[in-house]
A and B are shown apart, each in its own frame.
Chain A
Amino acid sequence: MALLNKVEAGHLMAVVETINLRKVYMLGKVPVEALRGVNLKVEEGEFLSVLGPSGSGKSTLLNLIGALDKPTDGKVFVDGVDVSTLNENELASLRRKIGFVFQFFNLIPRFTALENVEMPMAIAGVGKEERRKRAAELLETVGLADRMNHKPTELSGGEQQRVAIARALTNNPRFLLMDEPTGNIDSKNAYEIIQLVKRLNREKGVTIIMVTHDQRLASEATRTVHMLDGLIVKETVNKT
């Protein structure tokens, strides 16, 4: 797991930076301003939560940071690279350096936990043996050593989300993007998930950006930005 240790003491750089980020959707014929100029900087090794009610633009922000969508205006820098200058292929390559964790897990149902975790490595062209070994290690890290050969339908919500987290970690991502990671999980499992996330951040130095509408969950992060109507309205540093 030494590979995950990217934090070099005393040297913090911005993994993600957004400058005056704007996004306008067309809802039918009505333009909807989802983001109205967001400036955000996330340092390496940080655990940031983005808190806001639904419709505040936090998911849009996440999609833009994750290079899943393109901004209407403004810029997103990932590791100092302007995302808007990248073509489709380069965007795909960039996404390999980002670990996504979705609210609805988004595992591929016909594959086992192990195969799901292998998938990003298969996409990146890693050989079968190597990815199997690494996938098994990661599943062990998230506490699913004994559930590797189960399919998503045979796993609980909490277990599925652990698989998703393991999958997000496979390619040694620059940061994890989590969209309501506990939104579909019962409170006991949600607690365990958040402990896992915190452990990854503290022990492995994984940079984490988590979107949630849950005040309590948000306060588990080291820093919280509050969003409302497409703008960051407040920023708090949490005591952990």
Chain B
Amino acid sequence: MKPKDIFSYAYSAIKLRKLRAALTTLGVVIGIAAIVALLSITQGLQIAIASQLQKGFATDTLIVSAGGGLGGADASFSLLVNDTRTISQIENVTAALAIIQRVGYIKNADGRTRRATIVGVDFKAYKEVYGSTFTAENGEVPLNPENTAVVVGKRVSDPWGNGTLFCMAGDTVEILWTNTTARPLRNETYTGNVVAVLQEVGGFSVGGPSDTSIYIPITHAQSFFGTDKCEMIIVKLKSDDKTTIDSTAKAIRSLFGGQVVVTSATAVLNIISSVFSTIELFLAGIAAISLLVAGIGIMNIMIVSLMERTREIGILKALGMKNRTVLLIFLTEAAIIGLMGALIGVGTGWALAELVVRIFSANGVGFGVRQGGQAAIAGGIAIAPVLTPTVLLGAIAFSLLVSIVFALYPAWRASRLKPVEALRYE
């Protein structure tokens, strides 16, 4: 029998029981839709986060922080602001800047207080590394700032995202910090001038500017926090190729006798993407179970169909149909159901993903990431579901595979029917 005839025969058998075929297909649709929706949302989320990271986290940078290798580092070891000078000497390093970071408060002219991360940086160097994000929306970031200069993140200026400003460029604010190492505890405070409000960065970043931080000049931070130690040193490299990153990271580690952790943006991105791959696999696994259930549905229907059509199979065999052809007809029926289910399922899954993303964005929940204990969300990341060809084709192939595998047994039984007995079957 020609493949075309096998197909049209199988199709005519499906058409005969439309509702039943539709319900069986629905099972497949649900399974495939679940897989596609989950995967396209997680992939969209992954891409959104990765792109956010790349924005706030230049790929040609390394982040150096205290903390040793295995076995624990010397607890007394700290990075110093001055260490930037030695790091700058290393080959391939174009700039190194220290970051001092404390959690403190900012008080506006009305006397209202908000918690914020206070970051001491060299404005000029910081702008060189994070040119695209350390940029003022309002006011101007000074390259040679006064000690009182304060640059605030978007969410510090506009915490509720509705235009009700907490502070703006030109305002005088009070910066507060509790020195917990002093006995008794001491509240430090000084009056600063907001010189600039940064553009919205969105999402989060490591090292790079964030919407919920306050930036003050590094020299002033040193005296205000009373320290020469810094939390991290950001190192800008000549290029972002792997060998440069690896060799420089190694050089920095050996410079500090292995007492520092050197993180590259690329490495963080890789870790995040591997975490996402695991999540993706897990979610896809759960969705795959629903497809297996659909497969059992197909098997069930094929067995019922086999019983209903026993006599028909007997007729076909009396007319000279080979066992192999009977087998193929049954498998083709299952494949048609699997394919239809896959196609409808991919469409449904995609629509579902769009819907879920839209509902979440509309509610303002976003896929934002809470930062620094802030009550407000650090800017939702706009995510768009992503359907890669791999997921698309994989879903279709998986659906076909499940349908055919579960149809194997009924199809095999159909093919083995004895013509005389099948013809006698009522």
A94, A95, A108: which contacts B312 (Cβ < 8 A)?
Answer: A108
- Using a CB-CB cutoff of 8 Å, which residues 1-40 of chain B contact chain A? 1-2, 4-5, 9, 12-13, 15-16
Q: Which residues of A contact B325 (CB under 8 A)?
A: 123
Q: Mark A101-119, 1 if CB is under 8 A from B, else 0.
A: 0100010101100000001
- Using a CB-CB cutoff of 8 Å, which residues 81-118 of chain B contact chain A? none
Q: Which residues of B contact A93 (CB under 8 A)?
A: 320, 322
- Using a CB-CB cutoff of 8 Å, which residues 52-74 of chain A contact chain B? 63, 66, 68-69
Q: Which residues of B contact A89 (CB under 8 A)?
A: 322-324
Verify A110–B318 contact, CB threshold 8 A.
Answer: no
Verify A96–B323 contact, CB threshold 8 A.
Answer: no
Question: Taking A68-B419, A106-B423, A123-B325 as contacts, is the C-beta distance between A111 and B12 under 8 angstroms?
Answer: yes
Q: Which residues of B contact A68 (CB under 8 A)?
A: 317-318, 419-420, 423
B236 at the interface (CB under 8 A from A): no
Which residue, A66, A92, A125, has most C-beta atoms of chain B within 10 A? A92
Question: Taking A92-B317, A95-B320 as contacts, is the C-beta distance between A125 and B2 under 8 angstroms?
Answer: yes
Verify B322–A69 contact, CB threshold 8 A.
Answer: no
Assembly CA distance A123 to B315 (angstroms): 12
Assembly CA distance A93 to B323 (angstroms): 11
Q: Which residues of A contact B401 (CB under 8 A)?
A: none
With both beta carbons as reference points, the residue of chain B lying nearest to A170 in the complex is identified as B319
A88 at the interface (CB under 8 A from B): yes
Assembly CA distance A125 to B322 (angstroms): 12
Assembly CA distance A94 to B1 (angstroms): 15
Verify B312–A66 contact, CB threshold 8 A.
Answer: no
In the complex, what's the smallest C-beta–C-beta distance from B231 to chain A, in angstroms? 77
B311 at the interface (CB under 8 A from A): yes
Tally A residues with Cβ within 8 Å of B. Answer: 27
In the complex, what's the smallest C-beta–C-beta distance from B332 to chain A, in angstroms? 14
A122 at the interface (CB under 8 A from B): yes
B316 at the interface (CB under 8 A from A): yes
- Using a CB-CB cutoff of 8 Å, which residues 322-349 of chain B contact chain A? 322-325
A100 at the interface (CB under 8 A from B): yes
In the complex, what's the smallest C-beta–C-beta distance from A75 to chain B, in angstroms? 18
Verify A100–B12 contact, CB threshold 8 A.
Answer: no
With both beta carbons as reference points, the residue of chain B lying nearest to A115 in the complex is identified as B12
A207 at the interface (CB under 8 A from B): no
Q: Mark A158-177, 1 if CB is under 8 A from B, else 0.
A: 00000000010001000000
In the complex, what's the smallest C-beta–C-beta distance from A87 to chain B, in angstroms? 10
Assembly CA distance A225 to B418 (angstroms): 28
In the complex, what's the smallest C-beta–C-beta distance from A175 to chain B, in angstroms? 14
Question: Taking A63-B420, A69-B420, A123-B325 as contacts, is the C-beta distance between A92 and B2 under 8 angstroms?
Answer: no
Assembly CA distance A106 to B313 (angstroms): 11
Q: Which residues of A contact B143 (CB under 8 A)?
A: none
In the complex, what's the smallest C-beta–C-beta distance from A57 to chain B, in angstroms? 14
Verify A106–B321 contact, CB threshold 8 A.
Answer: no
Verify B319–A95 contact, CB threshold 8 A.
Answer: yes
A120 at the interface (CB under 8 A from B): yes
Q: Which residues of A contact B1 (CB under 8 A)?
A: 122-125
Q: Which residues of A contact B321 (CB under 8 A)?
A: 92, 123
Which residue, B1, B9, B312, B320, has most C-beta atoms of chain A within 10 A? B320
The 10 closest A-B pairs by CB, nearest first: A96-B320, A95-B320, A92-B322, A69-B420, A68-B419, A120-B319, A122-B5, A68-B420, A106-B315, A123-B321
- Besides A89-B322, A106-B311, 5 other A-B contacts (C-beta < 8 A): A63-B420, A92-B321, A92-B322, A93-B322, A123-B320
A-B contact list, 13 entries, CB within 8 Å: A68-B420, A88-B323, A93-B320, A106-B314, A108-B315, A119-B316, A119-B319, A120-B319, A123-B1, A123-B320, A123-B325, A125-B2, A128-B4
